[in-house]
């Protein structure tokens, strides 16, 4: 059953960005989104952290609406957490926000996401021979260089996002052989060298 529309993505604003911009919080949220509900202890074991640290940061994520209790799980004092949304996007106005705290949080968030993307790609490359041959030809690691003004890059990004979203609810998602697929898009200006 697909996620309700409101659970798909969360747009960051200055307050929520500051609440999320911590490497462990980003890792916790990623783990809950990827693997589903878990306890602070289970997440601590998975991430190599103390349960006290994961507990604290889960409460901080909950205060900002990124995670919530999962009342369908757990017994007694065992507290299970689940992701509040399946994705996060950055409001464009954050890049122009003059507050140094917001800019610092945006730097932490952006670098952590770039690190995660690099790790995911590295994991795939290290395990690509474990996949069926049909996946080897389907995976892609391309790069392109275009000369565009900022408004055309924005237009290209919007079209790419719309195309990707059109594949979210395809009938084949539950077909035999269907796998979770990660798509990373990086589009940025680069000075001529």
For residue 89, the SS3 value is: strand
Which pLDDT value is given to residue 7? Answer: 60
Q: Could you report how far apart the first and last alpha carbons of the chain are, in Å? A: 49
Taking all residues of the chain, what is their mean pLDDT, rounded to a whole number? 91
Q: Are 65 and 40 in contact (CB under 8 A)?
A: no
Where would I find the beta strands (DSSP E) of 28-144? Answer: 38-39, 67-69, 80-83, 88-90
- Total-model pTM: 0.85
Q: Are 7 and 68 in contact (CB under 8 A)?
A: no
pLDDT tens for 93-106 read 999 999 999 999 99
Summarize the confidence of residues 76-88 as an average pLDDT: 90
Which pLDDT value is given to residue 1? Answer: 37
pLDDT tens for 104-116 read 999 999 999 999 9
């Amino acid at each position: 059953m697909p996620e309700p529309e409101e659970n798909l993505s969360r747009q960051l604003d200055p307050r929520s960005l500051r609440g999320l911009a911590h490497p462990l919080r980003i890792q916790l949220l990623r783990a809950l989104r990827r693997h589903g509900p878990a306890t602070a202890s289970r997440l601590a074991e998975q991430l190599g952290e103390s349960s006290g640290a994961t507990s604290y940061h889960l409460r901080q994520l909950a205060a900002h609406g990124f995670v919530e209790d999962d009342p369908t799980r757990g017994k007694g004092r065992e507290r299970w957490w689940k992701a509040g949304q399946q994705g996060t996007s950055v409001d464009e106005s954050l890049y122009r926000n003059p507050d140094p705290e917001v800019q610092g949080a945006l730097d932490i968030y952006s670098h952590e996401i770039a690190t995660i993307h690099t790790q995911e790609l590295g994991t795939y490359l290290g395990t690509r021979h474990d996949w069926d041959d049909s996946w080897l030809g389907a995976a892609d690691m391309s790069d392109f260089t275009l000369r565009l003004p900022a408004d055309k890059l924005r237009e290209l990004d919007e079209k790419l996002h719309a195309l990707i979203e059109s594949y979210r609810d395809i009938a084949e998602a539950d077909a035999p052989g269907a796998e979770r697929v990660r798509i990373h898009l990086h589009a940025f200006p680069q000075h001529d060298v």
